[in-house]
Chain A
Amino acid sequence: MAILVYTENWDGAFKKVSFELISFASKLAEVMGDTVTALSIGQVPENELSRLGNYGAHKILKVESEDLTVVDNQVYTKIIAEAASKEDAKVVLLAHNNVGKALAPRIAVRLKAGIGSGLTGLPENLDPFITSKKIFSGKAGSAIEIKTPVKVLTLSQNSFEVTENKLDSKIETFVPEAPTKGVTSRLNMEKQSGKIILTDADVVVSAGRGMKSPDNWGPIEELADLLGAATACSRPVSDEGWRPHNEHTGQTGKIIAPNLYFAFGISGAIQHLAGVSSSKCIVAVNTDPDAPIFEAADYGIVGDAMKVLPELISAIRQVKS
């Protein structure tokens, strides 16, 4: 028996979340008495594949084919489900990101498995299998029982620490019976080069309507560059077209959980807080001392973001140098 982990790569390098997944699976395998099999799809160099062994993968299956550069949900589902059957996997684990959310439900139906999505930690109990997840976009938590022998789980990003557990793992080529060519066709791809991915970022610098104009985003971007952070925004700002939709964090936008979240000129509507409340540390800067953001924040400054930002940037520059 095994825990099968789909480890996602980007241009041949594994995403940070893939190591979080292996670390999670390794701990789960320990209590379940199972082993961990990582499944990599696409072209990943051997030395990168072997890194999965550093965090507790016993076996690494690689599926390589030119066709698989593009994620076709049907094709990927069949390959992952086939690998799960071959490994006699009782748990199939994916990231709770766009790819995981697309594949996990399909895999669950294919394997007649119950699904636990967006988990934030190890299961509370193994038999019955009870796991916990946040609901109402973080406004509440819940315990869910998954009643099927095979379980499909998705793990929230940045919720499980990457832990070293070096194993002498072996890499095997897996040739699935399922066809590698799907029916969807990709016409075009746009990479946001040089930008830190919002859902992957350890630090996020976010701003709202308190910035008064889209022309005032300079210092936000400067601070983000300085900290190696991603930029984000509140809903009104993306609705106004001041910032792109993919920066909107909140209940109906992106749900994020960075280590450090800066909110400049964001009042903190309940929907915004729902998307960021899992952040480990929240810093709020707002002119209104009664803004609800201060209830969610760890540190706050009542003041004008446009005045605070340059001072903050120079203070950080000072400690960095």
Chain B
Amino acid sequence: MKILVCLGHVPDTTTKVKFVENSTKFDQTGVQWVINPWDELALTRALEIKEDTGNPVNSVTVITVGDISVEPTIRKALAIGADNGIRIDMQPADSGVVAAQIAEVIKSDPYDLILCGIESSDYNGAAVGGMLAEHLDYPSVSAVSSIKYEGDTLELNREFDGGFETFTCPTPFVAVVQKGITKEPRIPAMRGIMMARKKPLAVVNPINSEVLTEFLKFTLPEAKPPCKMVDPENVGELVNLLRNEAKVL
């Protein structure tokens, strides 16, 4: 069993979002880049599955689409414990391009289980995993909040609005994972950081892929009017405001 984890390279979630060039570009000044939080959870879970002896997992590979500036993100994943990394050398324009590029790599070197986070914390497209599966004509299971071996079969839990379902799916397939897949993302240890330097990181040339969407302009939300404070000794006033002013109760 070979596992591939798709990694997004995104601004840290505490980033104060700003735009430049007449609000057409994200301001990268001072931004800390990290592994997309859901992808980090997916990677952690992949490693947990691999380390559990008895599970037939041979390797965990990570893949990212990006120019040389994303390499620290891949090295971090290797330091966390991935066996090897792949970087597709281009600046992707949208999620469609990312999915098409990764699909091409998988076609020439197949994996049994492909893990993607449910969305990226920057553009919130929630599209790469599903698109990838369709390009490959693989089955996909989305909103997966648990993945584990029962004997030699993978069992997945999928969340739907109002409950959970347990699935099995023949390999190869794409699992699009969310919160709950593992408790906490793993942090690289010193030994891992040293070892990561020697792990293989392949750089692959991109194929031609069509750009179907384009971000034209960005906006920041308008400032909210200040919060109306209510005396803690007069909670009834809050109910009055919610009923008669906000009209939400």
Q: Which residues of A contact B (CB under 8 A)?
A: 10, 15, 70-74, 77, 96-99, 101-110, 113-118, 130, 133-148, 154, 182-192, 195, 197, 199-200, 203, 227, 238-239, 245-246, 248, 251-253, 259-260, 270-271, 274, 277, 280-281, 283-284, 294-303, 307-308, 311-312, 315-316, 318-319
Contact = CB atoms under 8 A, between A and B. Distances in A.
Contacts of B99: 105, 109
A183 B139 contact: yes
Contact of A297 (B14, B122, B176, B227): B227
A15 B142 contact: no
A139 B134 contact: no
Contacts of A101: 118-119, 126, 130, 142-143, 176
Interface stretch (B52-60, B62-70, B74-82, B229-237): B229-237
Instruction: Report, nearest first, the 10 A-B pairs whose CB atoms are least far apart.
Output: A105-B130, A303-B232, A102-B142, A114-B212, A245-B180, A109-B134, A105-B127, A106-B134, A98-B143, A311-B235
B124 A280 contact: no
A136 to B, nearest CB: 5
Nearest to A319: B239
Contacts of A308: 232, 235
Contact of A251 (B13, B219, B229, B238): B13
Nearest to B19: A140
Given A245-B180, A246-B145, A115 B246 contact: no
Given A105-B128, A106-B130, A110-B134, A189 B164 contact: yes
Nearest to A316: B239
Contacts, number: 269
Given A73-B139, A110-B134, A270-B14, A147 B167 contact: no
A260 B248 contact: yes
Given A106-B131, A141-B218, A185 B96 contact: no
A77 B140 CA distance: 11
Contacts of B49: none
B194 interface: no
A258 B208 CA distance: 42
B216 A143 contact: yes
Contacts of B95: 105, 115
A189 B163 contact: yes
Contacts of B17: 136, 139-140
Given A146-B213, A147-B214, A281-B248, A140 B221 contact: yes
Contact of B140 (A106, A252, A298): A106
B37 A118 contact: no
Interface of B: 11, 13-15, 17, 19, 37-38, 95-96, 99, 118-119, 121-131, 133-135, 137, 139-143, 145, 155, 158-170, 176, 179-180, 183-184, 211-221, 224-225, 227-232, 235-236, 238-239, 241-243, 246, 248-249
Contact of B212 (A147, A197, A284, A318): A147
Given A184-B167, A190-B164, A102 B216 contact: no
A102 B176 contact: yes
A312 B239 contact: yes
A114 B99 CA distance: 13
B126 A142 contact: no
Contacts of B170: 183
Contacts of B166: 186-189
Nearest to B163: A191
A253 to B, nearest CB: 5
A301 B133 contact: no
A135 B122 contact: yes
A116 to B, nearest CB: 7
Contact of A300 (B163, B215, B228): B228
A192 B215 contact: no
B165 to A, nearest CB: 5
Nearest to A15: B161
Given A102-B143, A104-B127, A315 B235 contact: yes
Contacts of B143: 98, 101-102
Contact of B162 (A116, A135, A192): A192
A101 B140 CA distance: 12
Given A184-B141, A280-B248, A296-B224, A301 B238 contact: yes
B229 A141 contact: no
